[in-house]
Amino acid sequence: MAIKDSKLPPPMGRPVPPPPPPPPYGYPYPYPPPPYPYPYPPPFVPSVYGELYTRPQEEPRIRFDVLLKVFYSPKEAFVEIYHSTTKIQGIFVTLIFTLILSFFTIISYIQTAFIPGSFGSSSFLPYGDSLMIASASQAFAIPLAIISLYIMGYLSAAVSQGLGGLRKDVDKTMGLLGYGVIVTFIFGLIQLVLVMILSVTVLSDDSISGDFAVLGIAGVIGIISFFWSLWVNGTAVSVATDTTVAKGILSYFLALIVVVIFATIISMFAFVFFMFGMM
């Protein structure tokens, strides 16, 4: 009688079956408990924001009640508005604040342009032509802001994923970055108000020191605005792509370099176009 036992080695002359192929990516799914049968543990990356992404989505709407919180507590604000924000809300918020800031920019230019020798006036163009250039530049600022939001949203999400982000959600990234424009709006208003005040006090004495005072104050505010914007918008990228705030800031900064180059080229073409149009 033949002995049937699967534990016995195969008889001589029969080829030994090849080992099973390794599982895809080096690990089976679900992952086995430790100790792992492979040389490295499973590549598990925990979520930075926990159960935020498992909650149901809410009806999309603009949350004006959290705009100030975005300015001083962006992480808490972006988590709060995550489920009610899409790129549509981000575009509307960006459009609203860009329009308001452009309006006050033109008003500020009109005031300073009436003062001879001031920083806002033009020594090589008539007042009407220089005002036309200012208005045209602000008209280009509106579509440029929307285009920049699209580019920033896509590039920031892509770079974040390359740096280890768990989600490439361009829609959420654009939506949260749209709320981040509140930083540019607040610091832009501060700059405009200071320029309008100085135009009545310092600039009216027709001295070059007044121009340098405006440039110095605007430069300091611009530096503060830049780093504040990095923090707020980097946090927006972090929440949208489920990565750390440090990686979110780096992702936003790398995307910002591309957008600044793009915006500079467009602005130069716009300026040249209107200069030739008035000749």
Report whether 214 contacts 202 (CB < 8 A).
Answer: yes
Total count of domains within the chain: 1
Residue 153 domain boundaries? 78-278
**Has residue 174 been placed in a domain?**
yes
**Has residue 253 been placed in a domain?**
yes
Helices (H), the chain: 67-72, 74-81, 87-113, 127-162, 170-179, 181-200, 208-241, 245-278
Report whether 173 contacts 161 (CB < 8 A).
Answer: no
**Has residue 117 been placed in a domain?**
yes
**Has residue 63 been placed in a domain?**
no
Which phi and psi angles does 278 have, rounded to 5°? -90, -10
> pTM for the whole thing?
0.73
**Has residue 50 been placed in a domain?**
no
Handedness of CA 64, 68, 69, 70 (dihedral sign): positive
Report whether 123 contacts 256 (CB < 8 A).
Answer: no
**Has residue 183 been placed in a domain?**
yes
**Has residue 218 been placed in a domain?**
yes
Handedness of CA 66, 69, 74, 76 (dihedral sign): negative
**pLDDT tens-digit profile, the chain (279 residues):** 555 555 666 555 556 667 665 555 444 445 555 555 555 555 566 788 888 888 888 999 999 999 999 999 999 999 999 999 999 999 999 999 998 888 887 777 666 655 544 444 444 444 555 566 666 666 777 888 898 899 999 999 999 988 888 888 999 999 999 999 999 999 988 888 877 776 666 555 555 555 666 677 778 888 999 999 999 999 999 999 999 999 999 999 999 998 888 778 877 877 777 666 666
**Has residue 44 been placed in a domain?**
no
CA-to-CA distance for 174 and 60, rounded, in angstroms? 14
Radius of gyration of the chain (CA): 29
Cβ partners under 8 Å of residue 168, min gap 6: 157, 158, 160, 161, 241
Question: Tokens in use for 214?
Answer: 């405006």
Question: Tokens in use for 62?
Answer: 């603009």
